[in-house]
């Protein structure tokens, strides 16, 4: 047990009570082990924050953006600029 807010937050986001390490967050581990997800997911995880949260630590597919205006999808046959 800890009385530190920061330790408690780390335990919560990593999903490892009592341990502050491990290399991956609990959402990353869930996405890697989930068997009922579609085979193709364009954006498997999105964090609306200024930095990637610890719960997504270790994910190579998670996107982090501070504001919705930061998102642009200009790689297909159309772009947001065409709308």
Phi, psi of 19 (to 5 degrees): -125, 135
pLDDT of residue 42: 77
Q: Could you state, in order of their start, the residue ranges of all structural domains in the chain?
A: 5-35+43-69
pLDDT of residue 63: 85
Residues 20-30: what's their mean pLDDT?
84
Top pLDDT among 73 and 5 is at: 5
pLDDT of residue 83: 52
Residues 64-78: what's their mean pLDDT?
72
Phi, psi of 54 (to 5 degrees): -60, -25
Q: Measured between alpha carbons, how far is 72 from 10 in angstroms, rounded to an integer? A: 31
For all residues of the chain together, what is the average pLDDT? Answer: 80
pLDDT bucket at 55, cuts 50 / 70 / 90: very high
């Amino acid at each position: 047990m800890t009385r530190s807010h920061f330790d408690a937050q780390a335990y919560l986001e990593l999903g490892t009570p009592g341990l502050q390490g491990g290399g991956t967050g609990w959402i990353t581990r869930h996405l890697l082990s989930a068997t009922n997800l579609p085979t193709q997911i364009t954006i498997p995880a999105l964090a609306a924050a200024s930095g990637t949260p610890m719960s997504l630590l270790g994910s190579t597919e998670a996107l982090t953006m501070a504001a919705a205006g930061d998102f642009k999808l200009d790689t297909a046959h159309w772009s947001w600029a065409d709308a």
